[in-house]
Structure 1
Amino acid sequence: MDVSVASWLVIAAALVAANLPFFNDKVFALVATRWPRKPLFVRLAEMTVLYFVVGLIGFALEAQIGNRFQQTWEFYAISACIFIVLGFPGFIVRYLRKRHG
Protein backbone atom coordinates (compact mmCIF):
# COMPACT_ATOMS: atom_id res chain seq x y z
CA MET A 1 0.00 0.00 0.00
CA ASP A 2 1.24 3.45 -0.90
CA VAL A 3 1.91 6.05 1.82
CA SER A 4 -0.55 8.47 0.23
CA VAL A 5 -3.34 5.89 0.10
CA ALA A 6 -2.71 4.89 3.72
CA SER A 7 -2.80 8.54 4.81
CA TRP A 8 -6.11 9.17 3.08
CA LEU A 9 -7.52 5.94 4.50
CA VAL A 10 -6.71 7.03 8.05
CA ILE A 11 -8.20 10.49 7.42
CA ALA A 12 -11.39 8.97 6.01
CA ALA A 13 -11.65 6.53 8.93
CA ALA A 14 -11.18 9.41 11.37
CA LEU A 15 -13.87 11.48 9.65
CA VAL A 16 -16.38 8.64 9.79
CA ALA A 17 -15.46 7.63 13.36
CA ALA A 18 -15.60 11.19 14.69
CA ASN A 19 -19.12 11.72 13.35
CA LEU A 20 -20.51 8.25 14.09
CA PRO A 21 -21.60 9.00 17.70
CA PHE A 22 -23.65 12.00 16.58
CA PHE A 23 -25.55 10.41 13.70
CA ASN A 24 -27.17 7.54 15.60
CA ASP A 25 -28.64 6.81 19.02
CA LYS A 26 -27.04 3.40 19.46
CA VAL A 27 -23.71 2.91 21.23
CA PHE A 28 -21.07 2.31 18.55
CA ALA A 29 -23.99 2.02 16.09
CA LEU A 30 -24.63 -1.49 17.43
CA VAL A 31 -26.06 -1.52 20.97
CA ALA A 32 -29.39 0.10 21.84
CA THR A 33 -29.42 2.35 24.91
CA ARG A 34 -31.97 2.66 27.67
CA TRP A 35 -32.31 6.39 26.96
CA PRO A 36 -34.64 7.65 24.23
CA ARG A 37 -31.78 9.91 23.09
CA LYS A 38 -28.16 9.15 23.85
CA PRO A 39 -26.70 11.73 26.29
CA LEU A 40 -23.68 13.85 25.41
CA PHE A 41 -21.33 12.13 27.86
CA VAL A 42 -21.98 8.78 26.15
CA ARG A 43 -21.28 10.35 22.77
CA LEU A 44 -18.00 11.82 24.06
CA ALA A 45 -16.99 8.47 25.57
CA GLU A 46 -17.68 6.85 22.19
CA MET A 47 -15.53 9.48 20.49
CA THR A 48 -12.69 8.72 22.89
CA VAL A 49 -12.82 5.00 22.19
CA LEU A 50 -13.10 5.57 18.44
CA TYR A 51 -10.07 7.92 18.57
CA PHE A 52 -7.98 5.05 19.91
CA VAL A 53 -9.42 2.64 17.31
CA VAL A 54 -8.45 5.01 14.48
CA GLY A 55 -5.03 5.38 16.10
CA LEU A 56 -4.57 1.61 16.07
CA ILE A 57 -5.55 1.53 12.39
CA GLY A 58 -2.97 4.24 11.70
CA PHE A 59 -0.26 2.38 13.61
CA ALA A 60 -1.06 -0.85 11.76
CA LEU A 61 -0.86 0.85 8.37
CA GLU A 62 2.38 2.59 9.33
CA ALA A 63 3.92 -0.70 10.44
CA GLN A 64 2.81 -2.36 7.19
CA ILE A 65 4.43 0.37 5.08
CA GLY A 66 7.74 0.40 6.91
CA ASN A 67 9.26 1.49 10.20
CA ARG A 68 7.02 2.94 12.87
CA PHE A 69 8.13 6.30 14.18
CA GLN A 70 8.34 7.24 17.84
CA GLN A 71 5.54 9.66 18.79
CA THR A 72 5.61 12.10 21.70
CA TRP A 73 2.76 13.68 23.63
CA GLU A 74 2.54 16.57 21.15
CA PHE A 75 1.49 14.18 18.38
CA TYR A 76 -1.33 12.74 20.49
CA ALA A 77 -2.52 16.19 21.62
CA ILE A 78 -2.68 17.48 18.06
CA SER A 79 -4.30 14.34 16.66
CA ALA A 80 -6.95 14.40 19.41
CA CYS A 81 -7.74 18.04 18.58
CA ILE A 82 -7.99 17.20 14.88
CA PHE A 83 -10.31 14.28 15.72
CA ILE A 84 -12.56 16.64 17.69
CA VAL A 85 -12.62 19.12 14.80
CA LEU A 86 -13.52 16.32 12.38
CA GLY A 87 -16.50 15.49 14.62
CA PHE A 88 -17.80 19.07 14.53
CA PRO A 89 -20.22 18.56 11.60
CA GLY A 90 -21.96 15.75 13.46
CA PHE A 91 -22.19 17.91 16.59
CA ILE A 92 -23.74 20.74 14.57
CA VAL A 93 -26.33 18.44 13.00
CA ARG A 94 -27.22 16.83 16.35
CA TYR A 95 -27.31 19.82 18.71
CA LEU A 96 -27.29 23.14 16.85
CA ARG A 97 -29.49 22.62 13.80
CA LYS A 98 -33.03 23.92 14.11
CA ARG A 99 -35.68 21.23 13.96
CA HIS A 100 -38.71 22.06 11.84
CA GLY A 101 -42.04 20.60 12.66
Structure 2
Amino acid sequence: MQNLLLIGTLAALSANLPFFSEKVLFVWQPKSVSKHFVWRLLELALYFVLIGFIARLLEAQLSPVHEQNWQFYASTLALFTVLAWPGFVWRYFWRKSGL
Protein backbone atom coordinates (compact mmCIF):
# COMPACT_ATOMS: atom_id res chain seq x y z
CA MET A 1 0.00 0.00 0.00
CA GLN A 2 2.82 2.40 0.83
CA ASN A 3 4.53 1.74 -2.49
CA LEU A 4 1.30 2.46 -4.35
CA LEU A 5 0.88 5.79 -2.56
CA LEU A 6 4.53 6.64 -3.16
CA ILE A 7 4.31 5.93 -6.90
CA GLY A 8 1.00 7.78 -7.20
CA THR A 9 2.36 10.84 -5.44
CA LEU A 10 5.60 10.83 -7.42
CA ALA A 11 3.66 10.43 -10.67
CA ALA A 12 1.32 13.33 -9.88
CA LEU A 13 4.19 15.62 -8.92
CA SER A 14 6.47 14.68 -11.80
CA ALA A 15 3.67 14.97 -14.37
CA ASN A 16 3.25 18.63 -13.42
CA LEU A 17 6.94 19.57 -13.13
CA PRO A 18 7.47 20.48 -16.82
CA PHE A 19 4.81 23.19 -16.57
CA PHE A 20 6.19 24.99 -13.52
CA SER A 21 9.65 25.95 -14.73
CA GLU A 22 11.07 27.77 -17.73
CA LYS A 23 14.30 25.76 -17.46
CA VAL A 24 14.66 22.39 -19.14
CA LEU A 25 14.91 19.78 -16.35
CA PHE A 26 15.36 22.68 -13.92
CA VAL A 27 18.94 23.10 -15.19
CA TRP A 28 19.27 24.52 -18.70
CA GLN A 29 17.67 27.78 -19.83
CA PRO A 30 16.75 27.79 -23.56
CA LYS A 31 17.85 30.78 -25.64
CA SER A 32 14.26 31.89 -26.19
CA VAL A 33 12.43 33.73 -23.41
CA SER A 34 10.18 30.77 -22.63
CA LYS A 35 10.66 27.11 -23.37
CA HIS A 36 8.59 25.67 -26.17
CA PHE A 37 5.82 23.15 -25.74
CA VAL A 38 8.01 20.48 -27.37
CA TRP A 39 10.50 20.76 -24.50
CA ARG A 40 7.66 20.30 -22.04
CA LEU A 41 6.48 17.17 -23.87
CA LEU A 42 10.00 15.74 -23.89
CA GLU A 43 10.32 16.39 -20.16
CA LEU A 44 6.94 14.75 -19.60
CA ALA A 45 8.09 11.66 -21.52
CA LEU A 46 11.35 11.55 -19.56
CA TYR A 47 9.51 11.76 -16.25
CA PHE A 48 7.11 9.02 -17.41
CA VAL A 49 10.04 6.70 -18.11
CA LEU A 50 11.71 7.64 -14.81
CA ILE A 51 8.57 6.93 -12.77
CA GLY A 52 8.09 3.65 -14.64
CA PHE A 53 11.65 2.64 -13.78
CA ILE A 54 11.12 3.49 -10.10
CA ALA A 55 7.85 1.52 -10.07
CA ARG A 56 9.58 -1.48 -11.65
CA LEU A 57 12.33 -1.35 -9.00
CA LEU A 58 9.77 -1.23 -6.20
CA GLU A 59 7.84 -4.13 -7.73
CA ALA A 60 11.03 -6.17 -8.01
CA GLN A 61 11.59 -5.78 -4.27
CA LEU A 62 8.19 -7.28 -3.47
CA SER A 63 7.75 -10.01 -6.06
CA PRO A 64 8.85 -11.16 -9.50
CA VAL A 65 8.27 -8.44 -12.09
CA HIS A 66 5.28 -9.10 -14.35
CA GLU A 67 5.90 -8.62 -18.05
CA GLN A 68 3.54 -6.09 -19.64
CA ASN A 69 2.16 -5.64 -23.14
CA TRP A 70 1.70 -2.40 -25.05
CA GLN A 71 -1.81 -1.90 -23.59
CA PHE A 72 -0.35 -1.43 -20.13
CA TYR A 73 2.06 1.26 -21.30
CA ALA A 74 -0.62 3.01 -23.37
CA SER A 75 -3.00 3.19 -20.42
CA THR A 76 -0.34 4.34 -17.95
CA LEU A 77 0.80 7.03 -20.41
CA ALA A 78 -2.82 8.19 -20.70
CA LEU A 79 -3.12 8.29 -16.89
CA PHE A 80 0.18 10.18 -16.61
CA THR A 81 -1.08 12.71 -19.17
CA VAL A 82 -4.31 13.18 -17.20
CA LEU A 83 -2.24 13.77 -14.06
CA ALA A 84 -0.43 16.57 -15.94
CA TRP A 85 -3.69 18.44 -16.57
CA PRO A 86 -3.44 20.85 -13.56
CA GLY A 87 0.05 22.00 -14.59
CA PHE A 88 -1.05 22.40 -18.22
CA VAL A 89 -4.05 24.49 -17.17
CA TRP A 90 -1.90 26.61 -14.88
CA ARG A 91 0.66 27.27 -17.62
CA TYR A 92 -1.57 27.86 -20.64
CA PHE A 93 -5.13 28.68 -19.52
CA TRP A 94 -4.82 30.47 -16.20
CA ARG A 95 -4.90 34.24 -16.70
CA LYS A 96 -2.10 35.94 -14.83
CA SER A 97 -2.69 39.49 -13.69
CA GLY A 98 -0.74 42.13 -15.58
CA LEU A 99 -0.39 40.11 -18.80
Give the alignment's TM-score, normalised by structure 1: 0.93
Structure 2 unmatched runs, 5+ = none
Give the distance between the partners of 1:30 and 1:86, measured in 2 at CA.
23
Aligned residue-pair number: 98
1:28-43 paired onto structure 2 within 5 Å: 28-43=25-40
Structure 1 unmatched runs, 5+ = none
Q: Which residue pairs with 2:57 in the alignment?
A: 60
Q: Which residue pairs with 2:93 in the alignment?
A: 96
Give the letter aligned to residue 16 of structure 2: N
Residue 50 in 1 paired to residue 47 in 2? yes
- 1:62-88 per-residue CA deviation (whole Å, 9 max, x = no partner) reads 001111111111110000000000000
Runs of 4+ in 1 over 4 A off after TM superposition: none
- 1:20/1:29 contact within 8 Å kept: no
Percent identity of equivalent pairs: 35
Give the distance between the partners of 2:75 and 2:40, measured in 1 at CA.
20
Q: Which residue pairs with 1:26 in the alignment?
A: 23
1:3-18 paired onto structure 2 within 5 Å: 4-18=1-15
Give the distance between the partners of 2:89 and 2:40, measured in 1 at CA.
13
- 1:26/1:38 contact within 8 Å kept: yes
- The RMSD of aligned alpha carbons is 0.8
- 1:41-71 per-residue CA deviation (whole Å, 9 max, x = no partner) reads 1100110111000000000000011111111
